[in-house]
């Protein structure tokens, strides 16, 4: 069984976007342990489990519709992470659109933990992976996103 280990999940790098920003991100559904090299927590996720991601974001322009995307990158190869429903408005806890400029909003998503990347999963032990979780408006602009450094562990 493979385990996905997210490193410094709540201190991950933010994507720069003129259309908004993600102000916080938190996860549940994983066991957290302190790392030996720093004071940060490591989130261990097992294949087949579900992780809940809660993010707070603020758009810099009015948003009429919103989509969520998650991508991964391993050894220079990109892959899409399956999302149960990419249309946010009306589908996630009755998330209502439009969103006004400067309005702080919370969004929660449950993502099944699985690996469908370009490298066979049996070769994915101790391989670093970068995930990017993005909220995109109706014009395909990134309203908010975060890059998450991870490692697939055996």
Total domains in the chain come to 1
Instruction: Indicate the DSSP class of residue 15.
Output: P
User: What is the phi/psi pair of residue 63, to 5°?
Assistant: -115, 125
- 28-52 tens-digit pLDDT: 766 554 444 444 555 666 667 777 8
Residue 75's domain is classified under what CATH number? Answer: 2.60.40.770
Instruction: Indicate the DSSP class of residue 142.
Output: E
- 63-103 tens-digit pLDDT: 999 999 988 888 888 888 888 899 999 998 889 999 999 99
The domain in which residue 61 lies consists of 3-153
pTM metric for this prediction? 0.78
> Does residue 98 have a cis bond before it (omega within 30 degrees)?
yes
């Amino acid at each position: 069984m493979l385990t996905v280990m997210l490193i410094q999940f709540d201190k991950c790098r933010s994507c720069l976007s003129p259309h908004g920003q993600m102000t916080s991100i938190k996860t549940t559904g994983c066991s957290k342990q302190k790392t030996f090299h720093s004071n940060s927590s490591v989130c261990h996720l097992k294949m087949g489990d579900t992780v809940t991601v809660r993010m707070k974001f603020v758009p810099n322009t009015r948003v009429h519709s919103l989509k969520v995307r998650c991508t991964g990158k391993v050894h220079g190869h990109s892959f899409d992470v399956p999302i149960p429903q990419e249309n946010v408005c009306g589908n996630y806890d009755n998330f209502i659109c439009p969103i006004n400029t400067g309005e702080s909003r919370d969004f929660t998503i449950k993502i099944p933990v699985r690996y469908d990347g370009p490298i066979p999963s049996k070769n994915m032990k101790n391989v670093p992976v970068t995930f990017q979780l993005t909220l995109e408006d109706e014009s395909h602009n990134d309203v908010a996103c975060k890059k998450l450094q991870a490692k697939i562990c055996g």
